[in-house]
Amino acid sequence: MTAVITVDAENPDPAAIARAADCLRRGGLVAFPTETVYGLGAHALDRRAVARLFEAKGRPATDPLIVHVTTSSDAAALVTQVPDIARTLASRFWPGPLTLVLPRAAVVPPEVTAGLDTVALRAPAHPVARALLAAARLPIAAPSANLFSRPSPTRAEHVLEDLGGRIDIVLDAGPTHVGVESTVLDLTRTPPVLLRPGAVTLEQLRAIVPEVTLRTATPAPGVAMPSPGLLSRHYAPRTPMTLYEGAPTAARDRLRAAVRDALAAGQRVGVLLTAEHAHIFRDVPVVVAELGTERDPHAVAARLYAALRELDAAQLDIIVAADLPQEDGLWRALRDRLRRAAAQIVST
């Protein structure tokens, strides 16, 4: 049985937090909100707890976890070296949605990091996450609290959909604010490499570290993945989704044609698109999930995973999605997730 404990997002009840912290200390699994998505927490220094975590998620042992801490000094205890650049970035972005990859200290079990000699660390900003860290007095290993390869959970209901009965506790504090995961930055390489675009933008990082580079290569099969979501499908609905990219008008024409063909073939169709384009399907018998306006990437981020899950629950044969309008700022992370969620990408 999974206990669902409702807590206030700003001022969580200390008794509820103490119960969850105690569960973690005993090697249990607790899902909790962060500002990005819900995480599934385990005692990061307890190998058995970490093994249970991988098992509950169905996550391959080759995919390393992020360890959550309260402060930079907690982080320093888990690494062999803190470069100046890490101090600078942590003081600017922590607590917040930036994950820093640093050389792992021996105290961190290799199971946490998929055998890598590096460890990913972040100090979350959500008051519930911070209260839990403070009460447990532990580093908490926490991947997103979804089944492996499903969309990340932005609400406690999503956690229960995937992990109900497989974990001990869910702290339900309502929807998360950001909606897309943290940015993962590898500081063990010079210059630093952006492994996963996320809630802290490349532009924000480059304002402080101009030489940050983007990663491009894909690792060999069987090798521990140096970055998240390198699998072809990740963050994905179960219903196959096709993403239409390229020149916007041409891409939308092809998307519309695909919808027409699918309906003619008797298929049930879901469409994922921004508010600006939702009207296209007003009189068409499809299920539309709207992402919010193209003027506000934050609104799109907050809706993205919930929209994917809504379409997935609607018993459709196919989902079609229109590309997002831009590549800068938060759009980079959103387009990345949309591409990874797609089973197929059609470029015009």
| Angle at alpha carbon of residue 222, lines to 220 and 223, rounded to 5° | 65
Min separation Cβ 25 and Mg ion, Å: 24
Considering the complex, state which of residue 39 and residue 237 has its C-beta at the smaller distance from ligand TXA: 39
Binding mask 88-117 for ligand TXA (x = CB under 6 A): ---------x-x-x-----------x--x-
Q: Do 183 and 205 meet the contact criterion of CB atoms below 8 Å apart?
A: yes
12 interacts with, out of Mg ion, ligand TXA, none, CB within 5 to 8 A per kind:
none
Other CB atoms within a 10 A radius of the CB of residue 63 amount to: 19
Q: Tell me: does residue 118 bind ligand TXA (CB under 6 A).
A: yes
Q: Tell me: does residue 34 bind ligand TXA (CB under 6 A).
A: yes
Binding mask 136-155 for ligand TXA (x = CB under 6 A): ------xxx-----------
Quick one: tokens of 100?
Answer: 């820093």
Residue type, 269: V
Considering the complex, state which of residue 195 and residue 271 has its C-beta at the smaller distance from ligand TXA: 195
Min separation Cβ 4 and ligand TXA, Å: 18
In the three-class reduction of DSSP (H, G, I as helix; E, B as strand; rest coil), residue 78 is classed as coil
Q: Tell me: does residue 195 bind ligand TXA (CB under 6 A).
A: yes
Min separation Cβ 42 and Mg ion, Å: 14
Min separation Cβ 201 and ligand TXA, Å: 14
Q: Do 72 and 118 meet the contact criterion of CB atoms below 8 Å apart?
A: no
Phi first, then psi: what are they for 210, rounded to 5°? -60, -25
65 interacts with, out of ligand TXA, Mg ion, none, CB within 5 to 8 A per kind:
ligand TXA
Of 125, 104, 128, residue with least CA distance to 45 = 104
79 interacts with, out of Mg ion, ligand TXA, none, CB within 5 to 8 A per kind:
none
The DSSP secondary-structure symbol of 323 reads P
According to CB under 6 A, which one of 182, 201, 239, 274 is a site residue for ligand TXA? 182
Helix, strand counts (H, E) of the chain? 10, 16
For ligand TXA (CB under 6 A), the number of binding residues is 28
Q: Do 219 and 230 meet the contact criterion of CB atoms below 8 Å apart?
A: yes
Other CB atoms within a 10 A radius of the CB of residue 14 amount to: 12
Other CB atoms within a 10 A radius of the CB of residue 55 amount to: 12
Q: Which helix (DSSP H) or strand (DSSP E) does residue 226 occupy? A: none
Please state, in angstroms and rounded to a whole number, the distance separating the CA atoms of residues 61 and 39: 17
Considering the complex, state which of residue 143 and residue 270 has its C-beta at the smaller distance from ligand TXA: 143
Min separation Cβ 63 and ligand TXA, Å: 5
Q: Do 255 and 322 meet the contact criterion of CB atoms below 8 Å apart?
A: yes
In the three-class reduction of DSSP (H, G, I as helix; E, B as strand; rest coil), residue 140 is classed as strand
270 interacts with, out of ligand TXA, Mg ion, none, CB within 5 to 8 A per kind:
none
Min separation Cβ 135 and Mg ion, Å: 24
Q: Tell me: does residue 63 bind ligand TXA (CB under 6 A).
A: yes
Min separation Cβ 186 and ligand TXA, Å: 6
Per CB under 6 A, residues contacting ligand TXA are 34, 36-37, 39, 63-66, 97, 99, 101, 113, 116, 118-120, 124, 142-144, 181-182, 184, 195, 225-228
